[in-house]
Amino acid sequence: MSTKQTVFIICAFVISFIFTFATTPLVRRLAFKIGAIDVPRDKRRVHKKPTPRIGGIAMVFGFVVATLCFAEPSRQLIGTMCGLAVIFVMGIIDDCKELDAKLKFVVQIIAALIVIFVGDIKIDIFTNPNVFNPSSPYLILPKWLSVTVTVLWIVFITNAVNFIDGLEGLAAGVSAIMSVSLVFIAVRVGEYQIAVMGIALMGSCFGFLPFNFNPAKIFMGDTGSTFLGFMLATLSIQGVFKSY
């Protein structure tokens, strides 16, 4: 990568971190006003007092600002952002009104299909598991199977991150570590676009973590956890990342 691109990648992290860190207290105040509060009504919840749960709004804001500032316009970027918009709206509504699980599942599938057909991002090649056939090292998937596998991947990872969001700092910390890995590989293979989005994702995690450590001042909620899972799933199947 060029020196200019390297500087932009660093700036993307700084901008994402600053915007997320600065807007999280504002989102916390908003949560109290609109009633987006997680009240500990049972023993399963670790926190002892009502805690705001729409911190993901600040994370998405920091990520989007940094990405739009430093990422290069492309079909993949448009598709990813459109899919993210659907996930973001669903997350906010769920944090405020508790959506039905089946409805959330359908919305996640719609977001995945937007990524596939608008952004032209999909898993279309597998390494041939038949080691005795060296003449064909890859299996090219038919379109219907490629779409199916990609939808399953995006929905699975989105929910995987959502499910681990049960302890303060866990989902943001794990996602930050995953983002570091994505950025490292992206820089190594020269994938500038993925490097920018990956490091912006990392910046949003680090910007939110100071407010999310135990005792948490605010939770990311489904707005944040589904955002992290969706972005990690989508970034991991772009460019040469399919092989990794």
pLDDT at 162: 87
Average of per-residue pLDDT across 12-32: 93
CB 218 within 8 A of CB 51: yes
Q: What is the mean pLDDT of residues 232-238?
A: 90
Residue 34: how many CB atoms within 10 A of its CB?
12
Note every long-range contact of 41-47, with CB atoms under 8 Å and residues 24 or more positions apart, other chains counting.
46/166, 46/167, 46/168, 46/214, 47/168, 47/215, 47/216
Mean pLDDT of the chain: 86
**pLDDT exceeds 80 at position 71:** yes
For residues 81 and 77, give the distance between their C-alpha atoms in angstroms, rounded to a whole number. 6
Rounded to 5 degrees, φ, ψ at 236 are -70, -10
- In total, the chain counts a number of residues equal to 244
- Alpha helices by DSSP H, the chain: 3-34, 56-70, 75-97, 101-119, 143-163, 170-189, 192-212, 221-235
What is the reported pTM?
A: 0.89
**CA dist., res. 34 & res. 177, Å (int):** 32
Q: What is the pLDDT of residues 216-228, one digit of tens each?
A: 788 888 888 999 9
Residue 14's pLDDT is 95
Instruction: With cut-offs at 50, 70 and 90, classify the pLDDT of residue 158.
Output: very high
Torsion angle defined by CA atoms of residues 97, 98, 99 and 100, in that order, rounded to the nearest 10 degrees? -140
Confidence bin at 52 (pLDDT 50/70/90):
confident
What pLDDT is attached to residue 60?
95
64 vs 41, which has greater pLDDT? 64
Quick one: pLDDT at residue 133?
61
